Amino acid sequence: MSEDGKDLDDDGAAPGLRKIIHVDMDAFYASVEQRDEPELRGKPVAVGGDGPRGVLTTCSYEARKFGCRSAMPSATAKRLCPDLIFRRPRFAVYSAVSRQIREIFLEYTPLVEPLSLDEAFLDVTEDSHGIGSATRIAELIRARIRAETGLTASAGVSYNKFLAKLASDQNKPDGLCLIRPGEGAAFVATLPVRRFFGIGPRGAEKMAALGIETGADLAARDIDFLRRHFGLQADYLYRAARGIDLRRVKANRARKSLGAERTFDKDISSGSALREVLERIITITWERIEKSETQGRTVTLKLKHADFSNLTRARSLPRPVASRAELATIGHTLLDEVLPLAQPVRLMGLILSHLDGEEAVSPPPVGGAAQLPLL
């Protein structure tokens, strides 16, 4: 592992290995509360109910110094840290931040697999922006998150998901850790088995009873021993103990459509005013299309009347819309078809669908990745 900015390629890694980043926000809910309520900064903060049956969803790093943890009963946390400040969760705000960070991830790769609101795997094997290394991409993403959300994230960089997730936890908060090819087994060897994904407190106890405390202890057991004691989990454990993980990053549903819309301050009915707004919407939509490297065949114009009823008009081409000019021509033709309006509208949107760009960038099978260039 390394923090010196050297990256996966610097040690002459065998081609074919993937480059995976795991990003995880630091003390997520608590950090959002500290961001939005500056008096809370630098103080022990818990998010959750403080009643007799309350439980912490999480707590700030200041509170962790006292031993407070996620899922701990609030009463226990208060005993450990009498000055602990409680806040109720505000899920709508956390979801909004989650969408913001996801948008940032998607600017660097379409292969983003969110695991929860605050963490995701990214496969950056294809360095589509020519940034140069997975570590640099991770640093850029961390800087963007800080600039755009006012929050810190930690990142792990490695050649598979198992190691990237362990790495993101290694230098928290606001840290980065790289585990290079060839270093995975050694990294795992010193790790307590309870840090392995999928091994809970009960699993760790069972292992301790068998004399297995660390990754090295696990690696010393053969596959038959593991199958006898851990059944279906055996293959996973056997590989994990060697720093091997064959799982691919599974990008969530490919995006089905892309577009932009505007809600007006005052309802509009004049054709010329609508054409003006449409021009702006076309510009934003086309920028988004270019950024996402997708192409689409169907253009839909959407209007919402003052009474909230919708009016849509769509046009499909036999091939993708090729340019901004073409998108504009279609958009304005659709608008002309609905003019003059029977009643004023409060919102106008333009949507491009039947996207086909997503398939073009789907990941190669793990075993067939050898031809991929290194970053």
Residues that bind ligand TTP (CB under 6 A): 24-29, 57-58, 70-71, 118-119, 172-173
| Helix ranges (DSSP H) in the chain | 28-36, 61-64, 74-80, 91-108, 134-149, 161-170, 184-189, 201-209, 215-219, 223-230, 234-240, 271-292, 324-338, 357-360
Q: Which is nearer to ligand TTP, 56 or 207 (CB)?
A: 56
Nearer to Mg ion, 28 or 159 (CB): 28
| The amino acid at 1 | M
**Residue 203: other Cβ atoms inside 10 A:** 16
Closer to ligand TTP by Cβ: residue 72 or 260: 72
* DSSP 8-state class, residue 364: P
Residue 95 C-beta: closest distance to ligand TTP, Å:
12
**Least distance to Mg ion from the beta carbon of 168, Å?**
9
CB of 122 to ligand TTP, least distance (A): 16
Tell me the C-alpha distance between 174 and 201, whole Å: 26
Q: Among residues 57 and 149, whose Cβ is nearest to ligand TTP? A: 57
143 close to 23: Cβ distance less than 8 angstroms = no
Q: Contact, 120 vs 102, CB < 8 A?
A: yes
CA-closest candidate to residue 324, choices 357, 360, 278, 358: 278
119 is catalytic: yes
Amino acid making up residue 346 = R
Residue 103 beta carbon to ligand TTP: minimum distance, rounded to whole angstroms: 19
Q: 167 vs 330, which CB is nearer to Mg ion?
A: 167
Task: Give the count of beta carbons closer than 10 Å to the beta carbon of residue 17.
Answer: 19
Residues binding Mg ion (CB under 5 A): 24-25, 28, 118
Phi-psi bin for 182: left (phi > 0), alpha (psi -120 to 50), beta? left
Three-state SS for 214? strand
Q: What is the C-alpha to C-alpha distance for residues 48 and 292, in angstroms, rounded to an integer?
A: 38
- Sign of the CA dihedral with 50 first, then 53, 58, and 60 last: positive
Residue nearest to Mg ion (CB): 24
**Smallest gap from residue 372 Cβ to ligand TTP (A):** 30
| Least distance to ligand TTP, CB of residue 46, Å | 10
Query: To 5 degrees, how large is the angle CA 239–CA 240–CA 243?
Result: 95
Task: Give the one entry of ligand TTP, Mg ion, none that residue 19 binds, where binding means its C-beta sits below a cut-off of 5 to 8 angstroms depending on kind.
Answer: none
- CA 116 to chain centroid, in Å, comes to 8
57 binds, among Mg ion, ligand TTP, none (CB under 5 to 8 A by kind): ligand TTP
Q: Which is nearer to ligand TTP, 23 or 348 (CB)?
A: 23
Find the catalytic residue in 3, 119, 205, 326: 119
User: Residues with catalytic annotation?
Assistant: 119
